Structure 1
């Protein structure tokens, strides 16, 4: 357990180092390179989590399905700005399978869905932000019996605080000509209504989807014995 905490802390620090590398060295260019590096960190954390028992085909299929659902959900609601189920699905992945799965689901969903919405300097920020939202969902709720209103409440605050704070860094450094406290305050205050709307939508999706999705996942886990060490 201690080894896993240390590993996750190091990977989290590396993810932020990459973001600051993009800000201060790459100046917003070569964002594909940073995006792929973040994705590699996510995948490394995921497979390291299963170092003693490799993830079976069915487990990988379910995780891939959650990623696909998050991506499809974001695209399907393209006409409603900030009202997207992507963060809710990422949180459900973390709750169901743990923080490492939550992080890789968030990072991969943000990266792939941006091929539709547009790639840019913001992509690595969205990947890290969504990844952390999923990771902390696993930290707080994985393996525990939790009320859906509590998970929905987490979804609201995680999106507003974690996602909003990280993604708005892109705006602060790449759209502002002069960095100052007033600029930082202006960007965060300007983005707050959008983050609040995204957070409220995430909480709403979680409140509606939490029980039916987890019930279905639990049935699949028991049916296919997804965490059986002998599974191939």
Structure 2
């Protein structure tokens, strides 16, 4: 009996993203302000992806926002915003067995922002722009694993390479779109999110 790789890869994506969301929620200890912030940023990202994804294909001005969110607010917030972006936007773009894998990819974009902050605390928009550009290709390579395991036979390095080559032009469009959006909008977005982070971190002492 042949293995049902389509089912297996979908289940792997589903349980992986579910486990990571559970871990992020437990470790995050989100305050009501943070929950509101996550909701707003997720809405912006999902709306931007849904609107531009239909007409502009892979030129979506949203992945850079997920990256900067993780850079400013940490891995848990970055992962939540990233993972929820494709889940919500796919109600307009099309849900399918690929959704959990997209959630994983976008969530990792947010986490990578937090990792960059931990390794290089003084990193600026130029560094974020480079990372966003690279994610254009990394996202495609990761999603190619799902497509390869579901549609290609036999499952070999050669057939995966063929899938990757077939999608290279689309990955390049995504990478260029990420680069342009982050280069043009990243600096101001970083300042705005830093401002709101400081506002959220303010604590008011009760009168003695």
* Common fold by TM > 0.5: yes
Give distance in 1, aligned partners of 2:110 and 2:187.
17
1:159 aligns with 2:136: yes
Cα distance 1:36–1:173, how it changes in 2: closer, same or farther (>3 A)? Answer: closer
Give distance in 2, aligned partners of 1:40 and 1:182.
31
1:81 aligns with 2:57: yes
Q: Which residue of 2 aligns with 1:47?
A: 25
Q: Cα offset for 1:34?
A: 6.1
Question: How does 1:7-86 map onto structure 2 within 5 Å?
Answer: 27-28=6-7, 31=10, 37-50=15-28, 54-77=29-52, 78-86=54-62
Render the CA deviation track for 1:35-77: whole Å, top value 9, x for unaligned: 6544432332322333xxx322122111111111110011121
Unaligned runs of 5+ in 1: 1-23
Q: Cα offset for 1:26?
A: 6.5
1:94 aligns with 2:70: yes
SS at match of 1:184: helix
Give distance in 1, aligned partners of 2:75 and 2:41.
14
Question: How does 1:107-126 map onto structure 2 within 5 Å?
Answer: 107-126=83-102
Q: Which protein has greater RCO, CA pairs closer than 8 Å, 6+ apart?
A: 2
Q: Which residue of 2 aligns with 1:20?
A: none
Cα distance 1:188–1:89, how it changes in 2: closer, same or farther (>3 A)? Answer: same
Q: Which residue of 2 aligns with 1:170?
A: 146
SS at match of 2:167: helix
Q: What value does the CA root-mean-square deviation take over the aligned residues?
A: 2.5
TM-score, normalised to structure 2's length? 0.85
TM-score, normalised to structure 1's length? 0.77
Give distance in 2, aligned partners of 1:36 and 1:201.
28
Give distance in 2, aligned partners of 1:101 and 1:191.
30
SS at match of 1:28: helix
- State the aligned residue count: 201
Q: Cα offset for 1:123?
A: 1.2
Unaligned runs of 5+ in 2: none
Q: Cα offset for 1:216?
A: 1.7
Cα distance 1:89–1:149, how it changes in 2: closer, same or farther (>3 A)? Answer: same
